[in-house]
Each structure stands twice: as structure tokens, then as C-alpha cells.
Chains A and B, each alone.
Chain A
Amino acid sequence: MIKMIAAAFEDGWAFVQKDGQTILIRPPYRSANNLVVAESAVEAAIHAYGFEVWDESFTDWADVVAYLNKRLVEVRKASRLFVNDPDATLELLRRAPKHVLDRYLARVEGELIPAREFKAAANLLAHLINLENVKSDAAVHHQVARLLAASTEGLLQSEPPAPEWVEQDLSHRCPGAVRRYGAAPIRECSERFRQRQQVFAVGTP
């Protein structure tokens, strides 16, 4: 049994008690990050560092972490101060220093492409290729372009074969269009779109 005695939910931090020890847990919730602390630390944390007293018990660590993650989202959603910016990640990319860009590219080449995560790779690279911090570095820009081509190629090759068109199904799906144009032009048009496919997400700069 793990007992939560104090928490700062907006940041997902908590003091818990387990087997007679007081432990501070905080993101990213790896066991190596769990710190055994003195009881007096809890009092100081509540008095001066934004924690509040809490009293709730959990059966295991996974429950504690799930609860803290859930509360973080709830509290931040309710906050008048916090803005959950959907473009935060893109801004992060814009701010990425050179060594971070290099790390991203190494991971695309070493992890995503071998794992055939072509869509994720192409998505990331399509964002990267237009960034000033990428464009301004010829070597990085070249590498992004090379990997983007490889990801796009992989994406095209990994597409499943075209489905067999069933006349009846087509008439059922778009009866008005079949009545007006006939089935053949619609099949041809669908095939053309399938081959082009939408590689990048809508709204990509």
C-alpha cells in the first residue's frame, strides 16, 4: 500500500509513504528518481513550495503515476494561467539547438526508418525542413532532405495494394455520383488520389 501525504498536482509531484519511508516522486517517474526524504521536507514543501496536504492510498506505483498524470491534466485544464498550446512541440523544434537536431536525425535514421515508422519520420522531417535553424545549416538541411526522401519512399512502398472495387459497394457509397458520372470515372479518380496520397498532415507549413 502506498499512501500519498502531500502533492503538487499541477506539476505531478507527490510525497508518499511506503514501508515506513517518506518518498518524493516526480516526473518522469522512474524508480531511480524516487527520493527518500526526511519528514521535515514535507512540511517545508507544503509551507513554502506549493504542495498541499493529501490523504489517499494506492495499491501500487502504476496507480500512483496514473493518478498524478490524470490530475496534472485536470488541474492544468482548469487553470486560468496555463495554456495548452497545440503548437508547443513545433515551437520546441524551432528552438532546438544543433545538437538536438542532430539527435533527432540520428533517431529518425536509427529508430524510425528501421522500424518502418515512415509516417512519423516523414511528419517530423516535413516540419524540420522548413525551420530557419535547419535551413541555415546546409549539412543539416541536406540530411533532413535525404531522410525525408527515404521516409516518403518507404511510405509509398508500404502502402497496401489497391482494394478490389466492388461495383455494388461503390453505388452504395456514393449513389448520386455513380448516377451522374458512372462508376468508371469515380474509380479512376479514387485511384489517382490513392496513389498521390496525403503524406503530410493538413495544416503543415
Chain B
Amino acid sequence: MDLFDLAVKNAPSLKERFEELIKLGRPDQPKALKEFALTIASSGRICVNMKQMTLIEFLTFGKYMNIYEWAANRAHLSGRQVTEVIQAKLGRYYEKRLAFDGFFDNSSGFHCGALSVGGLGATWYGDHCAVFNDSVSAGRRDVAYLRSDSVDTYLTEDLDLDKAAIAHDVAPHTHRQFLAAIKHSEQVLAHPTQKWPQLLCNDTEFVEVIFAGDAEASDLEKIRMARSDYEAYFDYGFEDLRGALSDADRYRVSGFVMMLRLLEDRKIPLELVDD
């Protein structure tokens, strides 16, 4: 199955469904939904949450690797088979992942992210939110947006793909705002505009983005991190000079400084988000 082709084919249907919602919506809902969709169309970006070392690796080598690329790299260094490396990493999730990826053409080149208009993203997976600039998605055919976490949403318990559901939801880049607005049509009105970033992308809910092709550090627009985390590193610094910092925390401070240097070298802004 060509996921990206499916997304392009589904575009008219998504627009129709969005317009239907606007027509039939409760008072005030159409205005809020239109504004929500506009916000996403103008500032919706692909973001990927990363932990400190993942981000350092990305900024150092300049390439965002998916599990297949990572495994190929690891296999090359260790002399093991790629499959063996992936199997060891995924453990009991190996078959599920293989089953899901097996339904799609060229899935070994897929990268995953989430649609974001601000905020810290899905912090379960990393406390730094790497935001890619528009060039990663705009004008590229090989980008598809899905309603939620793909494996969790579209893979059935007997490891079959819910093709009808995926065909119903999937959106190309140009229509991602309609997918998001349809998904959140019931909640948009209840959330003030400044809460929309968290509504769209948080730990448990996000519009998943699958894209193929390279994503490089030079494509980064910014890195977001929690202001409280940023401040905590400076407090670690104080404790270190007081002689009260553990080795592990000292390594974290080193990592933080490394990250700041790399961001500076690459001229990537660090945005602090109040959490």
C-alpha cells in the first residue's frame, strides 16, 4: 500500500467533511474550527520529541535516523545482521512492528513525528521538542498525517491493518488542518486558543506524521524545552560548585552544555516553554 498516494486521494473527502462540520456545527463552533484549521495550516510543523542524547546525536551527525537506519548503522559497527539488531531492540514488539510496516511500500524509509503548533509535544518520548521547518513537509509528496498513533490506532489485535480506517483518516500535508479540525471538532470550542498547541499534541494525543526521505539537522527550525528543565540545569551547576552533585547529574550538565554548543554552532534557536 502506498500511504502517501492514499493520503493524496483522501484529500477531497477530508475537505468535504470539514466543510460539512462548518455547515452543521453548533453556534460559534464554525468560527472556532475555521480559526483552528487556519492556525494549523499556517504554523503546523512536524516535530519529534527527543531526549538529551538523542538530540545530541542528531545535532552531531546531522541526520534523523529511523529504527532501520539506526539498526543498519549498528549492524555495520558490530558485524551483526540488521534483523538481529532490530529484533533485540524491539523484543516482544518486533512482530507487531514488522506486521504494521509490512503493509506499506518502502516503510523502511519512514520517519515518525507529530503535528505541532507549539508547546512541548509528546514529552513521554523526550523532553526536547525538535521542530522541523516547513521545507521538510511543504512541497513533498511523501508526507502523511494520521489521526493518532498509527500502530495503536490502525493495527488490529490479530495484527491486521484496518485499511478502511486508515484510508478514511490519512491526509496529505496540504490537508492536515482538516484532519486535525475533524479530530478535535468537539474540543476546540472548549479550549482557549492558547491551549490549542497542547490540545493538538500532548503525551497521549497527537496527529502522527509519517514522512519518507531524509530529515536533517539543517532542517530544524527550533528546539523547544520546558523552562523548568532549563532552570534546573543551572541549579545543578550551583550544586556542582557546592560539591553536592552526583556523577550522573554532572554528566547531565555536560550533556546540556554540549547541546547548547551544538545549537549555537548550527544557529538553531532554543525556545523555552512555560510548563
Chain B proximity of A33: nearest CB distance (Å):
10
Asked if residues B56 and A92 are in contact (CB atoms below 8 Å), the reply is: no
Q: Which chain A positions have C-beta within 8 A of B88? A: 52-53
Q: Tell me if B6 counts as interface (CB < 8 A to partner A).
A: no
Asked if residues A112 and B242 are in contact (CB atoms below 8 Å), the reply is: yes
Asked if residues A95 and B53 are in contact (CB atoms below 8 Å), the reply is: no
Asked if residues A43 and B60 are in contact (CB atoms below 8 Å), the reply is: no
Asked if residues A92 and B60 are in contact (CB atoms below 8 Å), the reply is: no
Asked if residues A73 and B93 are in contact (CB atoms below 8 Å), the reply is: no
A13 to B272, CA, bound (A): 22
Partner of A120, one of B66, B241, B247: B241
Partner of A41, one of B124, B246, B250: B124
Chain B proximity of A127: nearest CB distance (Å):
7
Q: Which chain B positions have C-beta within 8 A of A91? A: 257
Partner of A49, one of B49, B97, B235: B49
Q: Tell me if A11 counts as interface (CB < 8 A to partner B).
A: yes
A38 to B253, CA, bound (A): 30
Residue of B nearest to A28 (CB): B232
Q: Which chain B positions have C-beta within 8 A of A103? A: 234-235, 238
Asked if residues A53 and B92 are in contact (CB atoms below 8 Å), the reply is: yes
| Number of chain B interface residues as a range | 35 or more
Q: Tell me if B90 counts as interface (CB < 8 A to partner A).
A: yes
Q: Tell me if A190 counts as interface (CB < 8 A to partner B).
A: no
Asked if residues A92 and B234 are in contact (CB atoms below 8 Å), the reply is: yes
Q: Tell me if B19 counts as interface (CB < 8 A to partner A).
A: no
Asked if residues B124 and A35 are in contact (CB atoms below 8 Å), the reply is: yes
Stretch at the interface among A77-85, A134-142, A178-186: A77-85
The A84-111 residues at the B interface (CB cut-off 8 A) are 84-85, 88-89, 91-93, 95-96, 100, 103-104, 107
Residue of B nearest to A79 (CB): B53
A103 to B233, CA, bound (A): 13
Q: Which chain B positions have C-beta within 8 A of A37? A: 124, 203
Q: Tell me if B21 counts as interface (CB < 8 A to partner A).
A: no
Q: Which chain A positions have C-beta within 8 A of B91? A: 46, 52-53, 55
Partner of A69, one of B57, B96, B235, B246: B246
Q: Which chain A positions have C-beta within 8 A of B253? A: 88-89, 92
Residue of A nearest to B52 (CB): A11
Chain B interface (Cβ within 8 Å of chain A)? 49-54, 56-57, 60, 66-67, 88-93, 96-97, 112, 124-127, 149, 151-152, 203-204, 231-235, 237-238, 240-243, 246-258, 260
| Interface pairs A-B: 7 shortest CB-CB | A53-B91, A69-B248, A49-B125, A40-B152, A11-B51, A92-B237, A10-B53
